[in-house]
Structure 1
Amino acid sequence: MNKKELIQDVAAATDLPQAQAQEVVSAALDSIIKAVANGDKVQIAGFGTFEPRERAARTGRNPQTGAPVEIAASTAPAFKPAAAFKDAVNK
């Protein structure tokens, strides 16, 4: 499912026009992105948790030359599904 299909599904489930459903889906996704980018955790009961995770600096290797390469520390978004979500997928 892509974003367009998600919007169509939300529109059908809520009897909203697709334009309004698009605004709702986009606003929800933007809110999650902004919160995680600010270092906050977003918990949605029954769905899961979005959070930023720190990655430490490390030394990697260039696969072509084998030369060591320094990889800078970074922050990456992470998602941990809720138990209800896992159970629904593992039926």
Structure 2
Amino acid sequence: MTKAEVILAISRKTGLDKEDIRNTLDELVSVIQNSVAENQRVHFSGFGSFFKKKRAKKIGRNISTNTAIVVEEHYIPSFKPSKFFAAKIKTTS
């Protein structure tokens, strides 16, 4: 499902203007990105949490040249679904 499809689905269910939904969704994403970048966990009850996860330094491989490279310690965004959300997905086919 694309962003445009999400906006259309919300608009149909709520009757709100698509442009208002697009602006709200863009702002929601921006708030989540900025909060996670500032090391704050963003939690939605019944849905899950967005947070920053640390990846340790490791040795990787450049497959083009078959040489070892060092991948420095870095952070990645992560999402952990709530137990309710995970259970709902498990029970659907």
- Counterpart residue identity of residue 85, structure 1: F
Superposed displacement of residue 66, structure 1: 2.8
RMSD: 1.2
Superposed displacement of residue 71, structure 1: 0.8
- Counterpart residue identity of residue 83, structure 1: K
Please list every run of 5 or more consecutive structure 1 residues that lacks an aligned counterpart in the other structure: none
Superposed displacement of residue 45, structure 1: 0.3
TM-score (ref. length: structure 1) = 0.91
Q: Aligned partners of 1:65 and 1:19: how far apart in 2?
A: 48
Write out per-residue CA displacement over residues 1-38 of structure 1, whole angstroms, 9 at most, x where no aligned residue: 11111111111222101111111111111111111111
Superposed displacement of residue 65, structure 1: 3.4
Q: Percent identity?
A: 27
Superposed displacement of residue 73, structure 1: 1.4
Q: Could you tell me which residue of structure 2 aligns to residue 31 of structure 1?
A: 31
TM-score (ref. length: structure 2) = 0.89
Write out per-residue CA displacement over residues 35-85 of structure 1, whole angstroms, 9 at most, x where no aligned residue: 111111101000001000011111112223332101121110000000111
Please list every run of 5 or more consecutive structure 2 residues that lacks an aligned counterpart in the other structure: none
Q: Aligned partners of 1:56 and 1:5: how far apart in 2?
A: 37
Equivalenced residue count is 91
- Counterpart residue identity of residue 3, structure 2: K
- Counterpart residue identity of residue 41, structure 1: R
Q: Could you tell me which residue of structure 2 aligns to residue 40 of structure 1?
A: 40
Q: Aligned partners of 1:10 and 1:33: how far apart in 2?
A: 22
- Counterpart residue identity of residue 43, structure 2: Q
Q: Could you tell me which residue of structure 2 aligns to residue 64 of structure 1?
A: 64
Q: Could you tell me which residue of structure 2 aligns to residue 51 of structure 1?
A: 51
